Structure 1
Amino acid sequence: MKIVADDKIPYIRGVFEPYADITYLPGKAITAKEVKEADALLVRTRTRCDAALLAGSSVRMVATATIGTDHIDLPWCAAHGIKVVSAPGCNAGGVLQWVAAALARTVGEASPAGLTLGIVGIGHVGSLVEQYASAWGFRVLRSDPPRETAEKLGPADGYVPLDELAAHSDIVTFHVPLHAEGPHPTVHLAGERFFSALKPGATLFNSSRGGVVDEEQLKRAMASDRCACRIDTWENEPAIDRRLLDAALSATPHIAGYSEQGKANASAAVVAAAAKHFGLPPEGWYPTGVTQVGRRPISWAEMRATITDYFDIDGQSRTLKAAPEQFETLREEYIFRQEYF
Structure 2
Amino acid sequence: MKAVVDDKIPYIRQAIESVADEVTYLPGREISRRDVADADVLIVRTRTRCDRDLLHGSRVQMIATATIGYDHIDTAWCEANGIEWTNCPGCNAASVAQYVQSALILLSRRHHRPLRGMTMGIIGVGNVGSRVAEMAAGMGIDVLLNDPPRAEAEGGGTFVTLGELAGRADIITLHTPLARGGKHPTYHLADAELFAQLEKKPWLLNTSRGEVADTGALIDALAGGRIADAVIDVWEHEPDIDRRLLAAAYLTTPHIAGYSADGKANASRMAMQAVCRHFGIAMPCTIEPPAPPCPTVTAPTIDDALLTIYDPRRDSDALRQDPTRFEWLRGNYPMRREAGAYNIILTK
Contact 1:264 1:290 in 2 (8 A): no
> Take 2:163 and 2:335, find their aligned partners in 1: how far apart are those partners?
36
Instruction: Say whether 1:41 aligns with 2:37.
Output: no
SS in 1 for 2:120: strand
Q: For residue 236 of structure 1, what is the amino acid of its counterpart?
A: H
Q: For residue 118 of structure 1, what is the amino acid of its counterpart?
A: G
The count of aligned residue pairs is 329
Contact 1:191 1:214 in 2 (8 A): yes
**Shift in CA distance, 252/145, structure 1 to aligned 2, threshold 3 Å:** same
Contact 1:133 1:140 in 2 (8 A): yes
> Please, which of 123, 128, 132 is the counterpart of residue 126 of structure 2?
123
Residue 246 of structure 2 aligns with which residue?
245
For structure 2, which runs of at least 5 residues remain unmatched after alignment? 293-299, 341-348
**Shift in CA distance, 9/59, structure 1 to aligned 2, threshold 3 Å:** same
Residue 213 of structure 2 aligns with which residue?
213
> Take 1:289 and 1:221, find their aligned partners in 2: how far apart are those partners?
40
Describe the superposition over 1:156-177 as per-residue Cα deviations: whole angstroms up to 9, x where unpaired.
x2x1111210111011001111
List aligned pairs for 1:26-105, cutoff 5 A: 26-105=27-106
Residue 255 of structure 2 aligns with which residue?
254
Residue 339 of structure 2 aligns with which residue?
340
**Shift in CA distance, 302/82, structure 1 to aligned 2, threshold 3 Å:** farther
> Take 1:99 and 1:169, find their aligned partners in 2: how far apart are those partners?
16
SS in 2 for 1:14: helix
For structure 1, which runs of at least 5 residues remain unmatched after alignment? 293-300
Residue 320 of structure 1 aligns with which residue?
319
> TM-score w.r.t. structure 1 length?
0.93
**Shift in CA distance, 331/281, structure 1 to aligned 2, threshold 3 Å:** same
Q: For residue 259 of structure 2, what is the amino acid of its counterpart?
A: Y
Query: How much is the aligned-residue C-alpha RMSD, in angstroms?
Result: 1.6
Cα shift at 1:128: 0.9
Q: For residue 173 of structure 2, what is the amino acid of its counterpart?
A: T
Extract structure 1 runs of 4+ deviating beyond 4 A.
Answer: none
Q: For residue 202 of structure 2, what is the amino acid of its counterpart?
A: A
SS in 1 for 2:129: helix
> Please, which of 137, 142, 147 is the counterpart of residue 140 of structure 2?
137
> Take 1:335 and 1:97, find their aligned partners in 2: how far apart are those partners?
16
**Shift in CA distance, 130/288, structure 1 to aligned 2, threshold 3 Å:** closer
> Take 2:58 and 2:74, find their aligned partners in 1: how far apart are those partners?
15
Residue 25 of structure 2 aligns with which residue?
24
**Shift in CA distance, 146/328, structure 1 to aligned 2, threshold 3 Å:** same
SS in 2 for 1:70: coil
> Take 2:168 and 2:220, find their aligned partners in 1: how far apart are those partners?
20
> Take 1:255 and 1:18, find their aligned partners in 2: how far apart are those partners?
29
Contact 2:240 2:324 in 1 (8 A): yes
Residue 343 of structure 2 aligns with which residue?
none
**Shift in CA distance, 103/6, structure 1 to aligned 2, threshold 3 Å:** same
> Take 2:9 and 2:48, find their aligned partners in 1: how far apart are those partners?
12
Residue 297 of structure 1 aligns with which residue?
none
Cα shift at 1:310: 1.4
SS in 1 for 2:14: coil
> TM-score w.r.t. structure 2 length?
0.91
Contact 2:190 2:212 in 1 (8 A): yes
> Take 1:112 and 1:312, find their aligned partners in 2: how far apart are those partners?
17
> Take 2:71 and 2:19, find their aligned partners in 1: how far apart are those partners?
30
Residue 278 of structure 2 aligns with which residue?
277
Contact 1:27 1:44 in 2 (8 A): yes
> Take 2:288 and 2:206, find their aligned partners in 1: how far apart are those partners?
32
Contact 1:50 1:77 in 2 (8 A): yes
> Take 2:302 and 2:329, find their aligned partners in 1: how far apart are those partners?
26
Identity of paired residues, percent? 48
Cα shift at 1:312: 1.6
